[in-house]
Chain A
Amino acid sequence: MIFPSQFSARARFVASTAALSIALGCAPWLEASMLRHMFIQFPLLLLCGWLLSGPLAKPSWPRRLDEYGITGLTLLLFVSAYWMIPRALEMSLTSHIAQAGKVASLILLGALLPGSLSRSPWVVQLFFLGNFGAMMAIAGIQYQNMPQRLCNAYLLDDQNLTGVALVMASILISILWCARLAPIISFQVSENANVASKAESRIDKVTRP
């Protein structure tokens, strides 16, 4: 369900290139507002990586370096934390190196995340995504509470709006995660219950003479 594998490789490549072209081609317009920068350009770059993630799922090296999805989810925490630092965000406007780092890190994250999520048990996801969501919400509250501008390139209204969007996104991601995982968790719980009752019956057989 996570891998975009139901589409042909060519379709995925075309869509990925299109996402990258919009993210970079419309960069002056997207990056002129903090909200568009974070909530249109970032998702486009993640999408670009995500569409390329199919081939990455096949070789075994990413799996060996990313058991339980721990490496990919660690990458999620650090990449998202980094680009929520206002100074880092603004450096991507003024420095080509920072801009290249932004594009590369978000595409890489988008490419690795589907595999990591598919390999990680729900408890691991709860830990990492819980941290991610909390961080995003706290950053969003900070963005709204600051009386000064955090980026010299963005207006205060834009910063407030981005703060609201960050809080809303963290809530939305939490709801989506719960909705997606609820059936799996309930299934695991019932399976565990079955295992337990079988074990009990086996113990009964052994202990009973």
Chain B
Amino acid sequence: MMTTSTSSSNREHPRPLLTLAAALTVALLGLAAIVQATMGLNVVSTEDGRRLDVERAPREIPFAAVNRPPATTLASMLGTDGRVTIVAFIYTSCNSVCTVLGSEFQQMQQAIRDRHLQDKVRLMSISFDPRDTDQRLASYAVRQRADPAIWNIVGIDAEAQRHAVLNTFGIVVLPAPLGEFVHNAAFHIVDSDGRLAKIDDFDLPSKALADAVAMYEARRK
């Protein structure tokens, strides 16, 4: 009974090897695609992918004119200062995470002063909101008690240049209810050559500061 049923199914399907080869090909291609999308089975989220990508290949900052101080470009501010910069993206009307980032920057400013790191590390807030004119940013700087020697707050007026900077940093801004924005907030560490080299989580300011100092020291050696 068993032998007859097997032989009859063999007659109906004479080439199981073809199917096996096709299924194996599909599986291998599928696996290759999954390995590629997860950057070698390392990440599943876009944000983790962005961070790993930046660590593997630091990014040059594109040309963008900043509004405070005028007639300066972001790349020259970041690349010719000699210090490592911790960059955070903000909008001044923010009531949620930027307020946290703001107070974290206040505390980091104090930590930089206390530990005499102002020759190695500095802070920069970049606004992604076109409504943030230089006056608004200036009053934000006063509210935050930002010391311009340690903490710069800038905006980019030209839309195309602003988008180029956001794309390079990998910032995605989504409009949210109540006129707010949702964005992937983080500490972006830009090395003394002006390249985005590392991204740390926004709830780990001490790690960001330690990474920035380590990056500065590594460059000195």
Contacts and interface: CB of A to CB of B under 8 A. Distances in A.
Interface of A: 64-68, 70-71, 74-75, 77-79, 81-82, 85-88, 90-91, 146, 148-155, 195, 199
B37 A91 contact: yes
B23 interface: yes
Contacts of B115: none
Contacts of B184: 149, 152
Interface in B106-134: none
Given A85-B38, A87-B37, A149-B184, A71 B22 contact: yes
Interface stretch (B27-35, B136-144, B155-163): B27-35
B19 A64 contact: yes
B33 A87 contact: no
B163 to A, nearest CB: 13
Given A85-B38, A88-B37, A152 B47 contact: yes
9 contacts: A71-B19, A71-B26, A74-B23, A78-B26, A82-B33, A85-B37, A87-B37, A87-B43, A152-B184
From B19, B20, B170, B182, name the one whose CB has the most chain A CB atoms within 10 angstroms.
B19
B179 interface: no
A158 B162 CA distance: 27
B100 interface: no
Contacts of B11: none
From B33, B38, B182, name the one whose CB has the most chain A CB atoms within 10 angstroms.
B33
B172 A86 contact: no
B162 to A, nearest CB: 17
Contacts of A90: 46
Contacts of A154: 174
